[in-house]
Amino acid sequence: MAKALREQFGNPSSVHHFGQSAKAALDDARSAAAALVGADPSEIVFTSSGTESDNVAIRGVAEALEVTGRRHLITSSIEHEAVLNTFKALARRGWKTTLLPVDQSGIVAPEALEGALTDDTALVSVMHANNEIGTIQPVAQLARIAKARGALFHTDAVQTAGKISVDVKVLGVDLLSLSAHKFYGPKGAGALWIRRGVRLQPPMTGGKQERGRRAGTENVTGIVGLGVAAQLARGKMAAEGDRLAVLRDRLEEGVLASVHGTAINGVRSPRVPNTTNISFERVEAESLLIALDLAGIAVSTGSACSSGTLEPSHVLKAMGFPVHRTQNSIRFSLGAANTGADVDRVLEVLPGIVEKLRSLTRAVARA
């Protein structure tokens, strides 16, 4: 990326040699992004993020197919906000939308999709893996069902690209989103794979960059970073996935054994190797997050704390868990920098922190 900033500062749309050098850098990144998902480089469109890729896919297909009278869109109830809020926006503009349910497995049932599809369905969008609980959706099966009814299929593969094998042909999808920062590329760079022949009306108007599918001068530096990260991730993926799964399993077994009143969410389903979502009875997730952070351990909650109100995780809610469980769960994400020593450290401090929080809650309840 530093080299691109120093030496490839031309505008990739310029015909002169500075521009062509920047264009060559984009082409290298395009090939690397395509190789990561088994695609042809000419079908990769660079965007600013996974969020933008999801927007271009969903809004672009919806608008292109509007004239055909297909005004129905289907997604799942456990999608990232990038998809859910795009569906909400289209619903406000008159699109009929259906959110497929999940049960406590955190998996979208193919029968649910079969029941929801109509002759008016333009697009089905179901994520490859969920960002809060890591469950991998049966995308190939879902895509087959959607396409049998003439609908296009988009998958948000932001949580899988670079982590597990993703192949657009094996998945049989029409559009696929990915984001560089999920596989150690820079923030603010994403890509959308669009199968050749898919009709899409780009939501952003402007120049003819990215074959007319995403207007605006490309973020060459960020995209170069995306390309290098894609190449590195592809080389390491299998071994790194196995390593992280061993660490993740050790963490889960250790937590279940050393802290009573705990449960893993989505545990019996196929999952990406790096994520685990754990419920702690009688503990408020935000308090646990802060206490762990003070101990140098960074975790996340699926929920957002906005203006003092604790938003329950929409994913755990959709899975049918009671309200308290949607507010007492935290997500541990393991990555390249983590070792067994990190797992040991969590297991060393976590039981004491949970016990302290529970005794505080008991004291408040008595007062």
Hey, which residues are catalytic here?
305
In a 3-state reduction of DSSP, which class is residue 6? Answer: helix
Residue 41, Cα to own-chain centre: how many angstroms?
A: 22
Q: How far apart are CA 50 and CA 77, in angstroms?
A: 18
Cβ closest to ligand PLP, residue 183 vs residue 321: 183
Question: What is the closest distance, in whole angstroms, from the C-beta atom of residue 127 to ligand PLP in the complex?
Answer: 5
CA distance 259 to 232: 37
Handedness of CA 45, 51, 56, 62 (dihedral sign): positive
If binding is defined by CB under 6 A, does position 159 make contact with ligand PLP? yes
φ, ψ for residue 119 (rounded to 5)?
-70, -15
Interatomic CA distance for residues 249 and 187, integer angstroms: 29
**162 part of the interface to ligand PLP, by CB under 6 A:** no
What track of x and - describes contact with ligand PLP for positions 242 through 281 (by CB under 6 A)? ----------------------------------------
d(CA 151, CA 135): 24
Is the Cβ–Cβ distance between 166 and 38 less than 8 Å?
yes
- Which listed residue (1, 56, 82, 233) binds ligand PLP by CB under 6 A? 82
Least gap, CB of 83 to ligand PLP (angstroms): 7
Shortest reach from residue 15's CB to ligand PLP, in Å: 31
Q: Which helix (H) or strand (E) covers residue 355, if one does?
A: helix 340-366
Q: Toward ligand PLP, which CB reaches closer, 192 or 228? A: 192
When asked if residue 227 is in the footprint of ligand PLP (CB under 6 A), the reply is no
- Site of tokens 């040699």: 17
Q: Could you tell me the smallest distance in angstroms from the CB atom of residue 259 to ligand PLP?
A: 27
Q: Which residues of 57-71 are buried (b: 16+ CB within 10 A; e: fewer)?
A: bbbbbbbbbeeeebb
Stretch that binds ligand PLP, among 65-73, 151-159, 222-230, 259-267 (CB under 6 A): 151-159
Q: How many residues bind ligand PLP (CB under 6 A)?
A: 13
Q: Pick the closest to residue 72 from 100, 52, 53, 51 (CA basis).
A: 100
Residue 275 β-bridge partners: 333
d(CA 17, CA 92): 47
Q: Are 142 and 115 in contact (CB under 8 A)?
A: no
Name residue 100's beta-bridge partners. Answer: 76
Nearer to ligand PLP, 30 or 182 (CB): 182
Nearer to ligand PLP, 55 or 326 (CB): 55
Report, in Å, the least distance between residue 270 CB and ligand PLP: 16
**Near ligand PLP by CB under 6 A: residue from 8, 121, 125, 179:** 179
Nearest to 324 by CA among 276, 359, 284: 284
Q: Which stretch binds ligand PLP (CB under 6 A): 29-37, 153-161, 214-222, 299-307?
A: 153-161
Q: Residue 298: how many CB atoms within 10 A of its CB? A: 10
Residue type present at position 307: S
Can residue 202 be called a binding residue for ligand PLP (CB under 6 A)?
no
Compute the CA torsion angle 271, 168, 86, 299 (nearest 10 deg).
Answer: 30
Q: Is residue 127 within the footprint of ligand PLP (CB under 6 A)?
A: yes
Q: Which of 8, 55, 75, 131 binds ligand PLP (CB under 6 A)?
A: 131
Q: Indicate whether 80 belongs to the interface with ligand PLP (CB under 6 A).
A: yes
Of 4-63, which residues contact ligand PLP (CB under 6 A)?
A: 49-51, 54
Structure tokens at 276: 């685990």
Which is nearer to ligand PLP, 98 or 131 (by Cβ)?
131
Report the nearest approach of ligand PLP to the CB of residue 69 (Å): 30
Task: Tell me, residue by residue from 289 to 328, as one string, x for binding to ligand PLP by CB under 6 A and - for no binding.
Answer: ----------------------------------------
Judged by CB under 6 A, the residue of 12, 134, 190, 312 near ligand PLP is 190
Check binding of 156 to ligand PLP (CB under 6 A).
Answer: yes
- Residues binding ligand PLP (CB under 6 A): 49-51, 54, 80, 82, 127, 131, 156, 158-159, 179, 190
